[in-house]
Amino acid sequence: MSTPDFFRSRLEAMIDLRHPLAVLAKRMPWDAIEVSLAPVFERKARDGQTVVDADLFGPTVAVAGAGVSTAGLSRLPIRLLVGLLYLKQAYNESDESVCERWAQDVYFKYFCGEEYFQACLPCSPTNLVRFRQALGEAGVEELLAATIAAAVEMKAVKPAEFDRIIVDTTVQDKAVAYPTDSRLLEVARAKVVMLAQRAGLVLKQTFAREGKHLRRPCWRLCAREAFRRLRRVLKRQRTVLGRVLRDIERKMAALPESQQEGLRLWLERAWRICRQRPKDKSKLYALHAPEVECIGKGKARQPYEFGVKVSLAITAKQGLIVGAHSFPGNPYDGHTLMAQIEQTNILQQELPGAPRPHTAIVDLGFRGVDAEVAPVKVHRGKAKSLDARQRRWLKRRQAVEPIIGHTKADHGMRRCWLKGESGDALRAVLCAAGFNIRWLLRAIARGGIFALLFCRMCLLWLLPSIPRGAFLMR
């Protein structure tokens, strides 16, 4: 408890402490979260550098910069930043909007550990970016494990329910435009020209006007099915891009080595776009995001999705997410099961009395991995070859589909704006943690309604003289 402040209003006097968010603020294991995340943010010891100095007695060798780093301002409280990440994913907010909403919503303040009302922003949105990067995948998995531990501590889910899990995969789209060949070629040309001019290179020709002119008719030609003319336009775009790239390679030898390294990376990506063809494998679908894969899940409405494959594991009865893992490279669904079960075991190892998963309920896309995941039993198949109990399990497998839909529509998994493969991994786990926060809020609300109805029924039983509808109508 902090020192009382008589000039500011306490949040406990301004809010309803029975609100689900206020109840959850007291039930979350904040102390355990801070203990697990504190080593990531402690000051790092520096070895220092050997410096040669000269004085009246000749040269001397000294070590400069050794000890513990004290650079930078004091860090914000861990609970504040963790609470903002939870609220951001639970209510599908951006880094900027969650800070603005925190300044307006007293329940957001109370959930993040504030004691007094204040109208200013909690932090800069860039603090959330750096905090997320510092946590890494292991840190955000600790946040997901904390939501599972809170559900067990609140008795919203029984420990025995972790015996059976449902596993399925989906696609987390990357924030890229639809990768047509014409657009990729024009974007690559414009990008390398901009970087070359920024480095001080004078190009013979940039093809800026012709590039825009060539890109414009491509969608019209494709709509009219004029594929012969479309191939001629694409051929000319590849020729233009190749001429620009060769001109830059001839002139970049005069640049310093540091500038050449940064420019060479973009030139390699541009050459990949210039040389790839429609039937090639391992194509580059975005210049700024080379990790994007083309994944087909058999959907009639959206045959191909561009992003990363994500696996989700939920409890078979209550539907609490107990695992979320991203898999770059578009692996076969069955090859993701072992890593998903391993992550689920890691997240549940601190739970008191919670068993390890013994049965994984999956669809037919997870065939051929029974020996790999042993002793965990893999349950799948068609209904004709199963008994009544296994048939009920198979019907329950469909429960993962609406949860995937909610994580995409309500918690931000539909489109990932974070950078690189690490951003894909962080986004998947944070979306699962946001879903669990909303799951806990619904569980608290249900518990409060049932408790209220129980109290009213007890009053009706204890006071028979009172009319039966007097309490129920209020």
Residue extents of the structural domains in the chain: 140-176+295-439, 181-275
pLDDT at residue 471, as a whole number? 45
The stretch 9-21 carries a mean pLDDT of: 90
Q: Do 144 and 39 touch, CB atoms closer than 8 A?
A: no
Residue 404 has pLDDT above 90, yes or no: yes
The stretch 243-251 carries a mean pLDDT of: 95
Question: Residues 137-148: pLDDT tens digits?
Answer: 999 999 999 999
Long-range contacts of 207-213 (CB under 8 A, 24+ apart): 207/240, 207/243, 207/244, 210/240, 211/186, 211/237, 211/240, 212/186
pLDDT at residue 453, as a whole number? 46
Question: Residues 324-376: pLDDT tens digits?
Answer: 999 999 999 999 999 999 999 999 988 877 778 999 999 888 988 888 998 89
Task: Assign a CATH topology to domain 140-176+295-439.
Answer: Nucleotidyltransferase; domain 5 (3.30.420)
The stretch 309-328 carries a mean pLDDT of: 95
Nearest by Cα to 349 from 157, 153, 162:
162
Q: Which residue has the higher pLDDT, 454 or 258?
A: 258
The stretch 67-95 carries a mean pLDDT of: 83
Q: What is the CA radius of gyration of the chain?
A: 29
pLDDT at residue 57, as a whole number? 56
Question: Left, alpha or beta for 155 (phi > 0: left; psi -120 to 50: alpha)?
Answer: left
Question: Residues 170-212: pLDDT tens digits?
Answer: 999 999 999 989 999 999 999 999 999 999 999 999 999 998 8
